[in-house]
Amino acid sequence: MPPLYACPFCRQLFPQGEAKTCPDCGLELRPLHELPPSLEAQTLQPEPPVPPEQELLSWAYLGRGRGPLLAVAVAGLGVAFAPWLHETAPELRVLSGIEFARQLPWLWAAPVAWFIMLAVVASRRTVYHMRGSRLAVVLLATMVVLTVLWRIVLTPSSGPLVPRRFEWGWGLYASGLLGAAALALGWRFGGSLDDMPTAELRSRNETLH
């Protein structure tokens, strides 16, 4: 059977070689298989529904670990401004996490990780993307925990000429605890693929996972 050509507008069909342009529309004929489906065909055969794990959720959606992770990330940014160091010698001062990081640049790893985690979690609005971001959230939480542990383990030494007396502030410990909480929540970010949330009307026998 010879290939068919059709008008891109009215979809009138012509055998190959019968005409080069549509006599009614004046448009150049094109091979039928190259044209997209007509409006009538799209109406009769609508696009398949979006899978529930790829449905776009509200910005205010707090389920499947999204809300707790957002709260932990905001709290982690907050404790970066809390006291991390109480020093009594050689100086009398109290340093927040941000002020501490200005003197030891590697301490910026914790507040930067919290900021990136907040952006990652807030921007994930489908279950599919939440589950795909688990590893990123876990790595960011691990960065926070390791930064806190490294700071506590590497205690500055005190010498006879330069005595050092200090205590770690509650903000440092709080950041580590929040990092451990984010680590646990990150593994379950997005939840399972059973009992998926969906805003579309679906038949009862439709598989949701």
Task: Name residue 135's amino acid.
Answer: L
Note the pLDDT tens digit of each residue in 194-207. 766 665 554 444 44
Q: Name the percent of the chain lying above pLDDT 70.
A: 82
pLDDT of residue 42: 59
Q: What is the mean pLDDT of residues 62-89?
A: 93
Cα 135–chain centre separation: 10
DSSP structure class, residue 28: B
Q: CA dist 123 to 66, 118, 134, 136, 206, Å?
A: 10, 9, 13, 13, 29
pLDDT of residue 206: 46
pLDDT of residue 9: 80
- Is residue 148 predicted with pLDDT exceeding 90? yes
193 φ/ψ sector (left φ>0, alpha ψ -120 to 50, else beta): alpha
Report how far residue 13's alpha carbon sits from residue 17's, in angstroms, rounded to the nearest whole number.
12
Q: Report yes or no: 26 and 13 within 8 Å, Cβ to Cβ.
A: no
In this prediction, residue 78 has a pLDDT band, given cuts at 50, 70 and 90, of very high
